């Protein structure tokens, strides 16, 4: 079982290690990091699964909504 999810830092070889046992109750800060680092969709889904297992359904829904928006933007970049 993984204890961390690692987010690659854009433009470097560094990563941000997020301990799964310490996920924030609200996902907004994490969403900001994922967006800023242009994290791959697979990491967004990893965090959504972690929130589903560990934190509130409300945060999971926020992550899922943003993940859907990211997916649509990747498939249809002209949509807002």
Domain boundaries, the chain: 4-75
- Whether pTM exceeds 0.85: no
Percent of the chain with pLDDT over 70: 82
Total residues found in the chain within this entry: 80
Question: Would you state the pLDDT for residue 59?
Answer: 62
pLDDT in tens, 16-55: 999 988 888 778 888 889 989 989 999 999 998 888 776 5
Question: Would you state the pLDDT for residue 60?
Answer: 66
Q: Which of 51, 5, 4, 1 is nearest to 28 (CA)?
A: 51
- The phi and psi torsions of 17 (rounded to 5 degrees) equal -95, 120
């Amino acid at each position: 079982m993984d204890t961390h999810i690692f987010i690659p830092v854009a433009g470097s070889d560094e990563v941000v290690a997020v301990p799964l046992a310490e996920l924030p109750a609200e996902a907004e800060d994490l969403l900001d990091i994922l967006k800023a680092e242009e994290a791959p969709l697979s990491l967004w889904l990893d965090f959504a699964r972690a929130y589903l297992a560990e934190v509130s359904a409300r945060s999971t829904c926020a992550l899922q909504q943003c993940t859907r928006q990211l997916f649509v933007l990747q498939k249809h970049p002209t949509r807002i």
